[in-house]
């Protein structure tokens, strides 16, 4: 209470309230605060905590805790590490700092756990697949004459590779024109119906892939064709891929700067020419990325194919008749078998599928990942060459079209405007 | 485009009127109000693409509802409460499979939310430069890994490695009903085979599958939190964690909730990894660590082949319920994400 009255007294005696700006003086700015990075001491804490945590985990794990197995050990070691790290950090900093460092450690551990498990899952499939991949016949033969007891030197998955390619081609042949066309409609035509289309497309991204498969199974196979086929599988993949492609193409087209469109309209071009020569080329890399990522998702999808394509061991290149197996479905079929060699074939097939998806992803990264209008060095050179050509063309027209005005060639600006 | 040819720089706008005075006799430019034929064609074909898309998607919805109506008329509301699945005898319902679906999805969220929250904060606040770019594209790559690869890993690696953990949980936390693993008479199981193919294992695998979706949405929301408030927090002496707690998390709240729900939507619909791991049963199993669970999508994959016309209609009804569930979750999630996006812009 006394403090308060003192303060009040003080405020009463001073002049009427005014904002005072403290004199900065000529003291130099304090050094910039370090909010990222480590000092040597902190790094030592981290390493020390890690080593001590693991040591303690060996001790506790063997004798005290009724846990066994790798995962249990990792959990115990991690808990020990966190405790010891906090202890070490609290030796030289206050509570705020300790919590800060604990939080950073937790974020990094989440990242390590996630990326570690991703790399582990991918390499696990690849390494267990090597056994089957080592035999070249795996890529060129089919399973038609290979039984479950045959060694890995007989039989392969050529039929599944071909089946995947045919099915994804069918899906792409429908998805690309329809998906990009719908995205163009959403952005370039617009209106109330376009908003409805966007809502429906968003809703369909929620469709579970197995339900897409069930739909095609009941509506196409049971009602019309009465047999499973590659075409039905392609349609099922389409139903699943279409909303994904529409959504990402829509986002890409929305990023095209409006001033490019307006410039094109101001030059008097029609709507279709604006879309074809300005909007689509500007968004090209993004659209390609959208399609490729959609393809990667479609290729790896098992459940719609499970219901629609049927399983066969023989090569079938006719999508309209007879079952046609694809890579993910072949994996699924192989690993249901109790035979170790067949399971090895399954892992080999999964490795092929994974490599296909990885390749598609890398291609998408190499082509895309750029905002509209952000050109690579090569594209900039091409754009520069194109405008050089335009300028030469203008100069030639000028010489041919207006021979009378010889002096005009010195002032190109006048000619361009006329 | 920005780098025009050097000769283009010679263009001098001031020279235009003097060199070429405007022609007074020329009629004013006619602004066409009638669109040219090419534009009409373009507009109609673009609208056509939109119409076809909507038609396909409405066809899926309508077809599912119409076919599902057969089965739903037979059972009525007991479709939601019946556990068994035998359309041949007219006793079928999705209580057990829906329970399994939801438990697997919730376990998946328990696994995935801490991972994706930590990783997205790592990506938006801790990592920087090239490391961040690499990790962000790794997250995108993870979203493209086929689910069958996750399923293989779950069956052939995780199952054996996780059983000791399941056992430990059931021994020490067995007094909590969901962690208990008992036989019909209430005696605890200790045999490893009682712990295989459980909802717990399927949940972990599905959790890893939905982490990328959640991470990319949360990271986007976090990186959008305003720079002015961040610097204000630092200027008041906050540590990085203090800044994250005071600025990044409140601004990214919509992203956290929306990302979690979108992940939930994906987890509910996941088929093949779940189908490979679980051993299907048609009763509600509260013991999450014990063998045996089920999910709607696994039910469809399991029974579509042998289903009669009516059985198929019953499966469609199950699929329809799943679709409606994911639809509601997705729409709620995307409206939350969109709302958080509109408010969180900063003016530096």
Tens of pLDDT along B35-45?
Answer: 788 888 898 99
pLDDT band at A4 (very low <50, low <70, confident <90, very high): very low
pLDDT for B25 equals 62
Look at chain B and count its residues.
348
Q: Do B164 and A347 touch (CB under 8 A)?
A: no
pLDDT, tens only, B300-323 = 988 887 778 888 899 999 999 999
Q: Are B310 and B87 in contact (CB under 8 A)?
A: yes
Cβ of A207 and B326 within 8 Å?
yes
The pLDDT value given to residue A269: 87
Q: Which residues contact A385 (CB under 8 A, 6 or more apart)?
A: none
Q: Which residue has the tokens 């003080």?
A: A10
Residues B221-253: pLDDT tens digits? 898 888 999 999 988 988 889 999 999 999 888
pLDDT of residue A407: 45
Average pLDDT, chain B: 84
Spell out which residues of chain B touch residue A121, defining contact as CB-CB under 8 Å: 145, 149-150, 153, 208
**Model confidence band, residue B92 (pLDDT cutoffs 50, 70, 90):** confident
- Is the pLDDT at B114 greater than 90? The verdict is yes
Query: Could you tell me if residue B309 is inside a domain?
Result: yes
What are B211's two structure tokens? 């982490």
Greater model confidence, B149 or A58 = B149
User: In this predicted structure, what is the pLDDT of residue A414?
Assistant: 40
Predicted local confidence at residue A14, as pLDDT = 52
Q: Which of residues 364-403 of A touch B (CB under 8 A)?
A: 365, 369, 373, 375, 380, 383-384, 387-388, 391
Confidence of residue B215 (pLDDT cuts 50, 70, 90): very high
Better-scored residue on pLDDT, A20 or A12: A20
A354:B145 CB<8 A: yes
Distances (CA, A) of B108 to A354, B99, B113, B261, B269: 23, 14, 8, 12, 12
Q: Tell me how many domains chain B contains.
A: 1
A289-337 pLDDT tens trace = 888 888 988 998 888 898 898 888 888 888 888 889 999 999 999 998 8
pTM (two decimals): 0.82
pLDDT over 50 at A75, yes or no: yes
Asked whether the predicted pLDDT for residue B4 surpasses 70, the reply is no
- Please name the residue of chain A whose CA is at the shortest distance from the CA of residue B298: A210
B86 has which bridge partners?
Answer: B91
Band the pLDDT of B9: cuts 50, 70, 90.
Answer: very low
Domain parsing of chain A, residue ranges: 40-131, 158-374
Percent of chain B past pLDDT 90, that is, above it, reads 32
- What is the mean pLDDT of the segment spanning B191-213? 89
Dihedral of CA A370/B46/A196/A169: which sign?
negative
A178: contact with B, CB 8 A cutoff: yes
Look at residue A62 in the predicted model and tell me its pLDDT.
Answer: 67
SS3 B230: helix
Contact at 8 Å (CB) between B150 and A121?
yes
**Complex-level ipTM beyond the 0.95 threshold:** no
**Residue contacts between A and B (CB atoms, under 8 Å):** 327
Q: Which of B153, B264, B152, B288 is nearest to B207 (CA)?
A: B264
Taking 60 as the threshold, does the pLDDT of residue A39 lie above it? yes
Domain extent at residue B216: 79-343
Confidence of residue B19 (pLDDT cuts 50, 70, 90): very low
Q: Which residue has the higher pLDDT, A9 or B187?
A: B187
Q: What is the tens place of the pLDDT at every residue in A108-138? A: 999 999 999 989 999 999 999 998 898 888 8
Q: Which residues have CB under 8 Å from A304's CB, separation 6+?
A: A209, A210, A212, A213, A216, A233, A236, A237, A239, A240
Of A75, A210, A219, the CB nearest to B271: A210
pLDDT at B206 over 90: yes
Is the confidence at residue A415, as pLDDT, over 50?
A: no
Interchain pair A117, B8: CB under 8 A: no
CATH of domain A158-374: 1.10.3720.10
Q: What percent of chain A has pLDDT over 70?
A: 87
Nearest Cα of chain A lies from the Cα of B32 at a distance, in angstroms, of: 10
Q: Is A296 part of the contact surface with chain B (CB cutoff 8 Å)? A: yes
Using CB atoms, which residue from A184, A297, A414 is nearest to B19? A414
Q: Among A23-27, A183-187, A378-382, B31-35, name the one with the lowest average pLDDT.
A: B31-35
pLDDT in tens, A251-296: 889 888 889 999 998 998 888 889 988 999 888 888 888 888 889 8
Is the CB of B304 less than 8 angstroms away from the CB of A217? yes
pLDDT, one tens digit per residue, over B322-344 is: 999 999 998 888 888 877 765 54
Asked if residue B242 belongs to a domain, the reply is yes
- Give the span between the Cα atoms of B17 and B23, in whole angstroms: 11
Closest Cα of chain B to A177: distance in Å? 8
**Would the pLDDT of A368 be above 80?**
no
Q: How far apart, in whole angstroms, are the C-alpha atoms of residue B312 and residue B77? A: 19
Average pLDDT for residues B148-157, to the nearest whole number? Answer: 93
Q: Is A297 on the interface with B (CB under 8 A)?
A: yes
Measured between beta carbons, which residues in chain B are less than 8 angstroms from residue A384? 3-5
> Cα separation of A109 and A49, whole Å?
14
Tell me if B256 sits within 8 A of B109, measured CB to CB: no
* Pick from A121, A182, A219: CB nearest B145: A121
Question: What SS3 state is found at B294?
Answer: coil
What's the CATH code of the domain at B262? 1.10.3720.10
Interacting residues of B33 by C-beta distance below 8 A, sequence separation 6+: none
CA distance linking residue A27 with residue B66, whole number of Å: 79
Confidence of residue A226 (pLDDT cuts 50, 70, 90): confident
Dist CA B54 CA B211 (whole Å): 30
Q: Is the CB of A375 less than 8 angstroms away from the CB of B1? A: yes
Average pLDDT, chain A: 83
């Amino acid at each position: 209470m006394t403090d308060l009255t003192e303060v009040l007294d003080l405020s009463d005696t001073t002049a009427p309230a005014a904002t005072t700006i403290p004199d900065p003086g000529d003291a130099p700015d304090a050094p910039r605060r370090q909010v990222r990075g480590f000092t040597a001491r902190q790094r030592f804490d981290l390493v020390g905590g890690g080593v001590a945590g693991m040591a303690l985990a060996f001790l506790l794990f063997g004798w005290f805790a009724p846990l066994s197995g790798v995962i249990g050990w990792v959990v115990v070691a991690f808990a020990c590490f966190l405790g010891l790290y906090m202890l070490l950090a609290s030796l030289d900093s206050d509570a705020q700092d300790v919590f800060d460092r604990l939080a950073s450690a937790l974020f990094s551990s989440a990242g390590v756990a996630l990326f570690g498990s991703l790399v582990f899952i991918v390499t696990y499939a690849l390494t267990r697949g090597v056994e089957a991949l080592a035999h070249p016949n795996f890529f060129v033969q089919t399973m038609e004459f290979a039984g479950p007891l045959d060694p890995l030197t007989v039989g392969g998955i050529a039929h599944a590779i071909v089946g995947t390619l045919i099915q994804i081609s069918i899906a792409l042949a429908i998805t690309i024109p329809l998906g990009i066309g719908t995205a163009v409609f959403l952005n370039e035509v617009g209106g109330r119906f376009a908003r409805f289309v966007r809502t429906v497309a968003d809703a369909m991204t929620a469709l579970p892939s197995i339900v897409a498969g069930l739909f095609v199974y009941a509506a196409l196979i049971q009602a019309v064709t009465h047999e499973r086929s590659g075409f039905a599988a392609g349609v099922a993949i389409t139903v699943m891929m279409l909303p994904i492609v529409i959504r990402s193409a829509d986002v890409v087209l929305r990023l095209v700067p409006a001033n490019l469109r307006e410039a094109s309209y101001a030059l008097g071009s029609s709507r279709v020419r604006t879309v074809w020569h300005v909007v689509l080329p500007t968004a090209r890399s993004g659209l390609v990325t959208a399609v490729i990522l959609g393809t990667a998702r479609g290729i790896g999808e098992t459940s719609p194919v499970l219901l629609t394509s049927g399983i066969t061991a023989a090569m079938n290149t006719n999508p309209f008749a007879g079952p046609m197996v694809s890579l993910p479905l072949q994996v699924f079929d192989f690993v249901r078998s109790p035979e170790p060699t067949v399971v090895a074939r399954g892992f080999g097939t999964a490795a092929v599928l994974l490599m296909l998806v990885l390749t598609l992803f890398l291609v998408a990264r190499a082509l895309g990942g750029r905002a509209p209008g952000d050109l690579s060095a090569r594209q900039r050179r091409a754009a520069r060459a194109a405008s050089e050509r335009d300028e030469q063309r203008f100069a030639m027209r000028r010489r041919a079209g207006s021979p009378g005005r010889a002096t005009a060639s010195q002032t190109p600006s006048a000619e361009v405007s006329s | 485009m920005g780098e025009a040819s050097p000769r283009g720089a010679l263009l001098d706008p001031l020279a235009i009127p003097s060199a070429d005075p405007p022609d007074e006799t020329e009629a004013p430019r006619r602004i066409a109000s009638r669109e040219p034929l090419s534009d009409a064609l373009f507009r109609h074909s673009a609208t056509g693409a939109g119409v076809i898309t909507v038609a396909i998607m409405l066809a899926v919805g309508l077809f599912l509802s119409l076919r599902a109506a057969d089965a739903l008329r037979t059972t009525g509301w007991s479709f939601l409460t019946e556990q068994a699945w035998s359309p041949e005898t007219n006793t079928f319902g999705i209580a057990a499979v829906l329970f399994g679906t939801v438990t697997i999805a919730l376990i998946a969220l328990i696994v995935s939310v801490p991972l994706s929250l930590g990783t997205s904060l790592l990506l938006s606040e801790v990592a920087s430069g090239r490391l961040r770019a690499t990790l962000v594209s790794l997250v995108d790559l993870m979203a493209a890994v086929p689910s069958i690869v996750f399923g293989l890993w779950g069956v052939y690696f995780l199952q054996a490695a996780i059983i000791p953990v399941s056992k430990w949980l059931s021994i020490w936390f067995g007094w909590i009903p969901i962690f208990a693993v008992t036989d019909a008479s209430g005696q605890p199981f200790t045999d490893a085979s009682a712990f295989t193919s459980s909802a717990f294992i399927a949940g972990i695998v599905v959790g890893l599958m939905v982490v990328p979706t959640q991470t990319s949405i949360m990271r986007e929301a976090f990186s959008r939190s305003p720079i002015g408030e961040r610097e204000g927090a630092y200027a008041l002496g906050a540590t990085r964690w203090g800044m994250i707690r005071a600025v990044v998390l409140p601004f990214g709240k919509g992203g956290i909730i929306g990302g979690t729900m979108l992940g939930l939507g994906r987890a509910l619909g996941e088929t093949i990894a779940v189908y490979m791991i679980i051993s299907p049963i048609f009763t509600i199993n509260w013991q999450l660590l014990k063998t045996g669970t089920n999910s709607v999508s696994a039910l469809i994959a399991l029974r579509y082949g042998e289903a009669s016309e009516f059985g198929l209609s019953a499966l469609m009804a199950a699929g329809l319920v799943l679709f409606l569930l994911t639809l509601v979750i997705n729409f709620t999630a995307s409206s939350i994400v969109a709302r958080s996006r509109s408010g969180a812009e900063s003016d530096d």
